[in-house]
Amino acid sequence: MSTKSEAVKILDEYIRRHDDCVGKGDFAPVASLFDLDAELVFMGVPLGPFHGPHAIRQAFCDHPPAGKLRIVSLDEKDRHAVRATFESGVGGKGSLTLTTRNGLIDRLIIDLR
């Protein structure tokens, strides 16, 4: 029996909340997944980096994602780190790398190149 690592569980919850928030304009549920010292980094677009849940929430509000995400592949680095490739509902694609600390997102890198 395989159990999901902390990083995969948090990634699953991040995707669920992200997709629920797309179109609503309220990204507080997504931001609450980030640690107080968390960092959100975008690659391939001129945004950020953003530090802490408040700034991360504001970044999502100011630059809302266009569509829901679908994970295409998943590479579990260790219990606290995961890398995934994704496609968005509007034809975009990219990858993300997520690391966790104390059950929250410590760093999220979204690469849209």
Compute φ and ψ for 14, nearest 5 degrees.
-60, -45
Supply the pTM of this predicted model.
Answer: 0.91
pLDDT score of 2: 57
**6-111 carries CATH number 3.40.50.9100:** no
Q: What is the pLDDT of residues 65-111, one digit of tens each?
A: 888 999 999 999 899 999 999 998 777 899 999 999 999 999 999 99
Mean pLDDT computed over 5-19: 95
Q: Name the residue ranges covered by the structural domains of the chain.
A: 6-111
Q: What are phi and psi of 40, to 5 degrees?
A: -115, 120
Residue with structure tokens 């995961």? 82
Q: What letter would DSSP give residue 87?
A: E
The whole-number pLDDT of residue 4 equals 86
In degrees rounded to 5, what are phi and psi of residue 4? -75, 145
Top-confidence residue, 30 or 1: 30
